Amino acid sequence: MNIKRTIAAAIVLSILLTALPALAAGKVELSFDCDPSTASIEVIGGKAYLGNYTVPGDGTYPFTATADGYMDYNGSFDVVDGKVYFNGAECGGNKIHIVMSKQLYPVLITKNPQNMTLNVTDSLGNPVSDTANLPAGTYLYTAFADGYESAAGKFAVENAPAVVNITLKAIAKTMPTTSGIGALALLPANIAGEYYSAPTGSPGELVSLYLPVINNGEPLTDITIEPIISNNVEEFPFAADAANYGLRLPDLGTGAWAVAQYMLKISPYATNGVKTVQFRAIYRENGVLRDSTLSASVTIVNGYEAPQETLHTAPKLMVSGYAVNLDTIYAGDDFTLTVFVKNTSASASAVNITGALTLDPSALMAALGRSDTGYAAKIAPGDTAEIVYDLTAMPDIQGNAQIAIKLEYEDKENTAASVTQTITLPIKQRMRISVDQPEIFAEGAAEGDYIAVSLPIVNKGKTKAYNVEVKLESEKLSMSESYYGGDILPGAKQSAEFQLLCLNGGAADGMLTVSFEDAEGNIYEQNVPIQVDIAESISIPAAAYTEAEQPQEKPEAFPIWIAAAGAAAVIAVAAALIIKKGRSNAAK
């Protein structure tokens, strides 16, 4: 019993000593960058410390962020070798950035009339499309509908469901008004009894423009007509030399008509042809303010003709492509970038061309002792020049690098010009997977036995290794199925644990192949040779003798196995006597 207790205590002590490094691992300190900044954060398994948080070591830690007016944010982060990872990416400075969503509350807006047009914005004037669910705050609205007075106002959502009632005031009407294009229209010539012809004139001349109108609707009052003035001489071919072109017409009953006459001076820049001039009429129909758009024509002769200018042809440069001297650019590499600059002009040369690169300092830098600006003396029309740069990819870059290239150049008349274009360089992190020598547990293994193998795999790179797999090639060893280890994070270690079947005895050689992929799906392999000594099965063939070769009978020797069995029995009896005597003494 004492022996069993001693063995159990030793096992417990061994387990505690094995777990001791993990318990003694250093704490990791981290912080949160939260929007809103007023959020309270609780880390499961961590402790708050002077505004930051500490966790005991590597592992996965859930956390919850809460804030008034925002929905709770539940997430988790990983700590690997003292570095913090959130959503699969390493957090710089161990700072985790989260953005919380505002709490939404149901809002019921009742409209009277229901066909009103309602526009809602937040307090900053940003349009709100979904008014059924809104965060707490103040909202502005405008509402309008035919036959109702427009309205503007505001309402508030205060951390609870809200009901908003919007009612428009109907416009009082004594009689109906004309719908569609308006009551006031151009008068047909057969009603007027005479034909008002379009005027004809040259630039600088005064012309009389007549605009006969008729009331096709209800009685009209407060009638004003004015031309729609434009800086475009094709739309308004007159010199705008008056402060106000509005004309007042008498009130018109239903079917009544009148003529508006304008004396206008043709613009010196009016070109030849028939020009259509737009007029706007504003009036009240049964007291309701309405408007109509009318038009009249004028013919311009001997119009202005712009002098023919001799166009100056300028060179036009563009980045037509680029090349690098490496098949693949890895983080930390020095490489040469060649930019191809083409002059697309058919007749003008570009001279004194400089190409300045704008580099993201976290991704690229000019090589030591080299410049980020290149030069080309001249590019003839249609030709292409090369500008060469020596660059260095930063060790920590992840993904593509954007480069802005600003080309500044001159033409033969020293007229300066510039253009900026952007190119993208794909840059990868090297896969740095280290496979150590395997630990093979094969002591006493024989044919048909399984042996255990532990193969350490370490990711020493700065990018994740995907789909880690181990396979075996051997004539004397067999693997029931390949080992699949999933993904290995940067800086992480994984031990591939699997068993091999011993097929034949003797020295067994084999090759373990560790394969993995990068983020683009490219497959990498590393080979690890193994050798195991396997005990061979012993088989004793039956002896065959001919009658003439029968051996002479000899006195039988005392069988060795009988002697061994006797010796074992003697030892067992002696041990039993010693134990019995010890118990007897203990009883005394």
What is the sign of the dihedral through the CA atoms of 259, 260, 264 and 266? negative
Reading the block at residue 180, the tokens are: 């569609």
What is the sign of the dihedral through the CA atoms of 295, 300, 304 and 305? positive
**What pLDDT does residue 577 have?**
39
DSSP assigned state of 58: S
Separation between Cα atoms, residue 270 and residue 234, nearest integer Å: 7
**What pLDDT does residue 363 have?**
87
Separation between Cα atoms, residue 419 and residue 315, nearest integer Å: 11
Does the model's pTM come out above 0.85? no
Residue 456 in contact with residue 470, Cβ under 8 Å? no
Separation between Cα atoms, residue 159 and residue 15, nearest integer Å: 54
From 71, 73, 91, select the one nearest 82 (Cα to Cα): 91
From 362, 332, 326, 324, select the one nearest 432 (Cα to Cα): 332
Separation between Cα atoms, residue 300 and residue 380, nearest integer Å: 47
Residue 531 in contact with residue 445, Cβ under 8 Å? no
Q: What residues contact residue 588 under an 8 Å CB cut-off, 6+ apart?
A: none
Residue 528 in contact with residue 512, Cβ under 8 Å? yes
Pairing of the two strands 317-324 and 206-215: unpaired
Q: Could you give the dihedral angle defined by the CA atoms of residues 285, 287, 291 and 296, in that order, rounded to the nearest 10 degrees? A: 50
Residue 431 in contact with residue 518, Cβ under 8 Å? yes
At residue 279's C-alpha, the angle toward residues 274 and 285, to 5°, is 145
Reading the block at residue 3, the tokens are: 């022996």
**What pLDDT does residue 470 have?**
93
Q: Could you give the dihedral angle defined by the CA atoms of residues 88, 94, 97 and 98, in that order, rounded to the nearest 10 degrees? A: 70
- The alpha-carbon radius of gyration of the chain (Å, integer) is 47
Separation between Cα atoms, residue 238 and residue 583, nearest integer Å: 135
Binned average pLDDT, 10 residues per bin, the chain of 588 residues? 42 37 61 89 80 87 89 92 92 91 88 90 90 90 90 89 89 54 75 70 90 89 91 89 84 88 90 92 89 90 77 79 90 92 89 91 89 92 93 85 92 87 88 89 85 91 89 87 89 90 86 89 91 74 45 44 42 40 38
Reading the block at residue 283, the tokens are: 């009036």
For residue 568, the surrounding DSSP H or E stretch is helix 560-587
**What pLDDT does residue 341 have?**
94
From 334, 464, 331, select the one nearest 398 (Cα to Cα): 331
List, edge to edge, every strand of the sheet that includes 334-343: 317-324, 334-343, 384-393, 364-366
**What pLDDT does residue 194 have?**
61
**What pLDDT does residue 257 have?**
86
Q: What residues contact residue 59 under an 8 Å CB cut-off, 6+ apart?
A: 45, 78, 79
Residue 98 in contact with residue 105, Cβ under 8 Å? no
Separation between Cα atoms, residue 159 and residue 107, nearest integer Å: 11
Task: Give pLDDT tens digits for 22-60.
Answer: 333 468 999 999 998 888 889 988 777 666 889 988 999
Separation between Cα atoms, residue 407 and residue 341, nearest integer Å: 9
Separation between Cα atoms, residue 366 and residue 51, nearest integer Å: 40
Query: Which residues of 286-371 form beta strands (DSSP E)?
Result: 288-300, 317-324, 329-330, 334-343, 350-359, 364-366
Separation between Cα atoms, residue 222 and residue 284, nearest integer Å: 6
HSE, side-chain direction, 13 A CA sphere, residue 398: 9
